[in-house]
Amino acid sequence: MSEELNIVGDLAVILMASGVCTILSKVLKQPLILGYIIAGFLVGPHVHLFSDAGITDTHSVHQWSEIGIIFLLFGLGLEFSFKKLLKVGSAAFITAGINCLGMFVIGLMTGTALGWEMMEAIFLGGMLSMSSTTIIIKAYTEMGLKQKPYAPLVFGILVVEDLIAVLLMVLLSTLAASNRFSGGEMMFAMLKLFFFLILWFLVGIYVIPTLLRKFKSYITEEILLLVSIGMCFGMVTLASSLGFSSSLGAFVMGSILSETMEGERISRLTAPLKDLFGAVFFVSVGMMVDPAVIVNHWLPILIITLVVVIFMFLFSMIGASLSGKGLSTSTHTAMSLLQLGEFSFIIAGMGVSLGVLRNDIYPIIIAVSVITTFTTPYIIKAADPMERFLRNHLPKGLLARIDHEDVSQKASSKAEENQWRSLLKSYALRVLLYSVLLTAIAMASYRLFPSLIHSIFPSIPDDFVGMIVAVLTLIIMVPFLYGLAISGSSIKKDASRLMKENPVATWRVLALMVLRILIASAFCISVVLSNVKLSGAAILGVIILFLTIFLVLRVNFHKFASIEDRFFENLNQKEIQARKERPVAASVQRKLSAYDIRSLRVDVPQESVYAGKALREIGIRRESGANIIKILRGKCSILIPSADEVIYPGDALLAIGTSEQLARFTELMKATVEVNKEQQAEFSLECFVLDDSSFLTGKTLREVKLRDAGCMVVGILRGEEMITNPSADLCFAAGDGVWIAGEKNSVAWFGGEK
């Protein structure tokens, strides 16, 4: 068989084994990932159960698995949102940070205690730092926990951990490449990473949604699929050329596309590719499982499993408690995060490919992940007994302090939302974003313009080249310098309100304004000095000239604000569209999400016991605590319905309340009329040839009243003619072939004898 056909044969083996094992996983109510790993285990080189149908080219499978990682991270990016990251709240950041940092240190200590080399112990810490997003979301969906009060915190922690995992992959790959720990190198790698992350996000949000919107009428689903995958691979190539991992590029492009109006559509179109290549990746993971290694290393597997369960619970519990969550929320959150997931596989595979991990470490991590994945649903169910145990055994002083934190956190969170803190955040964000853009412009100009000018004017002196480069760079920087030094409209409103309410704040606002102007001036001076040699007096003259020009021409810079307006329009286009289509839900989400108050839409099923009843009779507010703020009925809507408003099948009720209230409301609306299957009528369609003794012979269709008995005549075959719409006065005759449809017993009765 040729090499090409070997690849096809290997893919056939992988997919067929995956299909069988994933079906078994579904039957056993286990995650599909376990099915993929078992499939890889069975067809891999270490198990000879299917020796005649095993994999012949593991190198090709490894290449496909690399593509699988790209699609997995691209799909994860499509579900990720940097705006969502900013909205998850301090509790998610604190809990995820403490959990990841604590598990990293414990993993490092565990690896050292097991006698592993330092680099292996560091990678073990990275592998133990993240929980499984896929497993937790699947478990919450199947167990009906997505409406629980603690669910938003769990999902917020997963969002933060996903970003930490991507950053950790970059840092570990950098560390493995140098094979030594250097604080300076790691700091430079971190700064470089954050710089390019911000730059890619800013440029991507400005360019990509604009192009997609401009060519929307020409973009079919086929074209959108090709373009989105092309952009994904393009960002992968760019990230790799800059020294980052390919996974980072895929994740960044997915997160950029998730902010566009086409994000959900792209996610749907690329889902089959993600599933296909993702399956190949997880099968390749299973292929590396050596049963002999697992048997020989059962003790490290047991130790690492216990470390994951015990310390991940401990650190998650501490993080949630310190962030202001009560004992109940902290316990349920901690019990949900006790497993290893996809990123552990990816980091382990990266370590093996970089040559810093032994091959026998890979199956150890997989074994730990499989064990913790199996136990996840049972551990989540044990959260309530664990909470009762902690309430009964924790010191009362500590218990009171944990539960008391909820109140203090609400007070502090309200204080955090005051205008002054909001203004400082806006200032800091503006300085950071514009500084990144200005730095990128300066770096690009320094690299590109000198060679370009020399190619156009070969004999020009170097001093003039530097002056031209400085002038061109400053011209390009002008709109961004304006954005850095001059406040946006929202910041101006907050600042004006603060200065009116508190005269002391005037000096603070002015100080912030001067600081931003000085930062903008520093960029100008750095551009000039990097291209032109000037004396101290000349530098002072440049500063004075810049400030003069800036103040004189300030009124003419407003046209450059359109650049910023376009960026924020692209960034917020999904929210703007949602505000137009669902104004009530969008308003609740925007203004009340910080207080665990949100909206939920529930459709009234056709068989609902509440159909035809007034809201007063149902008692939704009394039974659940939620309030109905809107009823959607076809193209009409009833805003703030009265208690006497009757709901009908097909209505959509928009309720508002806390997570717990909405969970009770959802359970309340699930009440339906149970249909007795024994009483259901069985449909039948039969043809009867009438004779002189038939019941219908000699009678008209009007006389027999078939419809009263739940039957109808579909057609009458009379000779060669088929009568499909017989009149009520048609008289049945012997020899007619009558087609009757309806309830089985009634059809048989009408087709019988007189």
Which tokens hold the place of 747? 């059809």
pLDDT tens per residue across span 62-99: 777 788 888 888 887 887 777 666 666 678 888 888 99
Q: Answer with the residue of higher pLDDT: 319 or 399.
A: 319
Judge whether residue 35 has pLDDT over 80: yes
Of 449-453, 550-554, 581-585, 658-662, the range with the highest mean pLDDT is 449-453
Looking at residue 557, its pLDDT comes to 52
Q: Of 368, 346, 235, 212, which is closest to residue 285 (Cα–Cα)?
A: 346
Judge whether residue 700 has pLDDT over 80: yes
Q: Of 197, 270, 192, which is closest to residue 231 (Cα–Cα)?
A: 270
Sheet bearing 652-657, strands edge to edge: 598-603, 652-657, 627-633, 636-639
Looking at residue 754, its pLDDT comes to 66
* Percent of the chain whose pLDDT exceeds 70: 79
Separation CA 684–CA 704 (nearest Å): 19
Angle made by CA atoms 77, 78, 79, in degrees to the nearest 5: 90
Beta bridge partners of 713: 740
Judge whether residue 193 has pLDDT over 70: yes
Query: Mind listing the domains of the chain with CATH numbers?
Result: 3-389 (1.20.1530.20), 419-569 (no CATH), 582-669 (3.30.70.1450), 681-750 (3.30.70.1450)
Alpha helices in 80-220 (DSSP H): 82-87, 90-113, 118-127, 133-143, 151-178, 183-214
Mean pLDDT (the chain) is 78
Looking at residue 488, its pLDDT comes to 57
- Compute the average pLDDT of residues 346-369: 82
Judge whether residue 408 has pLDDT over 60: no
pLDDT tens per residue across span 256-291: 888 888 888 898 888 888 888 888 888 887 787 778
pLDDT tens per residue across span 459-481: 777 777 877 888 788 778 877 77
Looking at residue 63, its pLDDT comes to 77
pLDDT tens per residue across span 43-57: 877 776 655 555 656
Neighbouring C-beta atoms of residue 422, cutoff 10 Å: 15
Length of the chain: 754
If residue 655 lies in a helix (H) or strand (E), which one and from where to where?
Answer: strand 652-657
Judge whether residue 417 has pLDDT over 50: no
Q: Is 530 exposed, middle or buried (0-12, 13-18, 19+ CB in 10 A)?
A: middle
- Compute the average pLDDT of residues 451-462: 80
Q: Answer with the residue of higher pLDDT: 579 or 558.
A: 579
Which tokens hold the place of 350? 């990266």
Tokens 């390019």 belong to which residue?
A: 196
Looking at residue 85, its pLDDT comes to 64
Judge whether residue 414 has pLDDT over 50: no
Separation CA 107–CA 112 (nearest Å): 8
- Compute the average pLDDT of residues 422-449: 81
Confidence of residue 185 (pLDDT cuts 50, 70, 90): low
Specify the 3-state DSSP secondary structure of 672. Answer: strand
Judge whether residue 371 has pLDDT over 80: yes
Looking at residue 409, its pLDDT comes to 43
Separation CA 535–CA 381 (nearest Å): 72
87-96, 607-616, 672-681: segment of lowest average pLDDT: 672-681
**This prediction's pTM:** 0.70
pLDDT tens per residue across span 194-223: 788 888 888 888 888 888 888 888 888 889
Confidence of residue 297 (pLDDT cuts 50, 70, 90): confident
* Percent of the chain whose pLDDT exceeds 90: 4
Neighbouring C-beta atoms of residue 96, cutoff 10 Å: 28
Compute, in degrees rounded to 10, the torsion defined by CA atoms 565, 570, 572, 578: 130
- Compute the average pLDDT of residues 386-414: 67
Q: Of 276, 288, 280, which is closest to residue 369 (Cα–Cα)?
A: 288
In this structure, which amino acid lies at residue 564? E
